[in-house]
A and B are shown apart, each in its own frame.
Chain A
Amino acid sequence: MSFTGHYTYWVTIFLMIAGLYIVIARGNLVKKLIGLGIFQTSVYILYIAPGKLIGGTAPILAASFHTYSNPLPHVLILTAIVVGVATLALGLAIVVRIREAYDSIEEDEILEIDRSEGEAQ
């Protein structure tokens, strides 16, 4: 398992772990979403990097070329990016509403508010 030969996978793994770590370790709701975004980015590289074949050219038919890079991963990832954008937008919208309702976007503060309200009931 050579590092240089597989370095795209190493990048993927690093992004995946970094993103997940941010989601788990950070209490700020916006930072969690950022972590989520980083996590999703790792998937993009996972799909696209193998699509580029060694010696392959752009996927446009031409007589003098025999090996083409795979365009399908790009299509798939475009879809995934759109989904990611929609998720991020929705997540941020919810954070805005949470800010209006709780006056905070730190998860532990919000949970504390909920807990003390729960005890008061």
Chain B
Amino acid sequence: MTTEHLPALQVVVPLLAAPLMVLVRRGTFAWLLAMLVSWATLAIALALAFQVRADGPISYAIGNWPPPWGIEYRVDGLNSFVLVLVALVASVVAPYARASVAAELPRDQHYLFFTMFSLCLAGLLGITITGDAFNLFVFLEISSLSTYVLIALGSNRRALLAAYQYLVLGTIGATFYIIGVGLLYLMTGTLNLADLALRLRDVDEIRPVLAALAFITAGIGLKLALFPLHLWLPNAYAYAPSAITSFLAASATKVSVYVLLRYYFLVFGVPLVFVRLPMAEVLIGLSVLALVSASLVAVFQRDLKRMFAYSSVAQIGYITLGMGLANQAGLTGAVVHMFNHGITKGAMFLLLGGVSLRIGSTRLERVAGLARIMPLTSFGMVLAGLSLIGIPGTAGFISKWYLVLGAIERGYWGLVALIVASSLIAVAYVWRFVEMAYFREPEPSAAKLDEAPASMLVPAWLMVAACIYFGLDTSFPLDGARLAAQVLLGAAR
């Protein structure tokens, strides 16, 4: 009986945990529950993924109301992959968060932190699994609102303004999305994504559909930090609590990318978006701008969290680049980079959280000599940095391989040059950290400090190990990504 309700449980489990935490009001209880809940969602996501690979897409009608009138949860080759990614990141961050939150937040706020964390997780999973356009908006706002709270819980008062700015921009984004959905509803009379795809083909008046596409692109583009709508990201990532930066960097933007992929390829369809409209050129152009400019800005940052936040904007550029290439190799590269960047950046921000805990700051000059004080953390950063650059043997290399292959297949030689050149810029900013950590003497005040606590180091190193492991034994992420790409191009379900 339970297995047939797995799609619903995927969202309900974290959703129910949140009010429970508020009722009990104990930080330790909230943390334990958050950890168990994240592990449970991971188990459910993996079960769903295996079931989809074996039997094909799963359709679940909420409340037994049949689609397209009722809300449908639909798991196919594309979103099962994203579900696993989000749940995986949450499962690693939750145990980590205990020590991190204890250092950064006052005691009476701990249970609130984990409440919001569960809500955010429920929201992200809901966005991924739902097959209804308006339901997606609801979950989008659930995850966004909880994210605003989580960012505002950061210890620096600048986190407040960062959360506020993200709130304003995020709400504008979500409202744009809902305007787009409204226009689509007006033209087709349905909100079910699969049904929309069918009915859009018969629509004669194309202008509202184009307007809907524009609004949805702008709205979701804000959420996924598509250049130039990325301005909220550096501040939000820099000032949020470390566990949240890691969680968001690894999952939130990826979910928004998934939404855009779903709409472009499986609702509007390739003939409209890529053949009739120049979306491919627009996406590629914006991605290139993101890649080059964000990477360059990252080189000159003085704070490590900000540096890697800008790096995230550039890495999202890689994903949207793969989207713009819109061929099997490019889309495989985009989807696998969602996973690879998730574990790479997740690892880096988790490690930086340990630095913040011990040193009290993540400014570049304060981590001088880090290799002597926190050798495991520094080496973990080096390995994750290599994955960011895309050295073979790390996960990041696999994404680069497919993106370059996709560009070659389209004959975009300039793009090939840009993809590899931006990897070199990544070398520049990763090496700034390496030189600071390994070539300088530690500050006298920092010299006697210890390595980060085990509860933080173990999850972080799990992610680092994953970066190396999935760079060699690529079967799990790559099979998932290839299946997702095939689903997007209509070659599989």
Contacts and interface: CB of A to CB of B under 8 A. Distances in A.
Given A79-B138, A110-B161, A94 B167 contact: yes
A18 interface: no
B290 interface: no
A114 B134 contact: no
A107 to B, nearest CB: 8
A43 B164 contact: no
A33 B345 CA distance: 33
A32 B160 contact: no
Contacts of B134: 76, 79
Contacts of A33: 168
Contacts, number: 66
A79 B178 CA distance: 12
A101 B178 contact: no
A42 to B, nearest CB: 8
Contacts of B175: 39-40, 43
Nearest to B140: A83
A17 interface: no
B161 A97 contact: no
Contact of B172 (A36, A80, A94, A111): A36
B160 A98 contact: yes
B171 A87 contact: yes
Interface string B175-194: 10011001001100000000
B114 interface: no
B171 A36 contact: yes
A83 B172 contact: no
A98 B164 contact: yes
B141 interface: yes
B25 interface: no
B164 A80 contact: no
Contacts of B174: 83
Contacts of A90: 145, 148-149, 167
Nearest to A105: B164
A50 B187 CA distance: 11
Interface in A78-107: 79-80, 83, 86-87, 90-91, 94-95, 97-98, 101-102
B152 A86 contact: no
Interface residues of B, number: 25
Interface string A48-72: 0010000000000000000000000
B178 A43 contact: yes
B163 A94 contact: yes
Nearest to B170: A87
Interface residues of A, number: 31
B158 interface: yes
B152 A97 contact: yes
Nearest to A23: B168
A3 to B, nearest CB: 19
A40 B167 CA distance: 13
Nearest to A35: B168
A101 B171 contact: no
Interface in B122-169: 134, 137-138, 141, 145, 148-149, 152, 157-158, 160-161, 163-164, 167-168
A101 B168 CA distance: 19
A91 B157 contact: no
The 6 closest A-B pairs by CB, nearest first: A101-B157, A83-B141, A98-B160, A94-B164, A46-B182, A47-B182
Given A83-B138, A101-B157, 17 more contacts: A23-B172, A36-B171, A36-B172, A40-B171, A46-B179, A73-B185, A76-B134, A79-B138, A87-B145, A90-B149, A90-B167, A91-B164, A94-B160, A94-B164, A95-B164, A97-B152, A98-B160
Interface of B: 134, 137-138, 141, 145, 148-149, 152, 157-158, 160-161, 163-164, 167-168, 171-172, 174-175, 178-179, 182, 185-186
Interface of A: 16, 20, 23, 29, 32-33, 36, 39-40, 43, 46-47, 50, 73, 76, 79-80, 83, 86-87, 90-91, 94-95, 97-98, 101-102, 110-111, 114
25 contacts: A23-B168, A29-B164, A33-B168, A36-B168, A36-B171, A39-B172, A40-B175, A43-B175, A43-B178, A43-B179, A73-B185, A80-B178, A83-B137, A86-B145, A87-B167, A87-B171, A90-B149, A91-B164, A91-B167, A94-B152, A94-B160, A94-B167, A97-B152, A101-B160, A102-B157
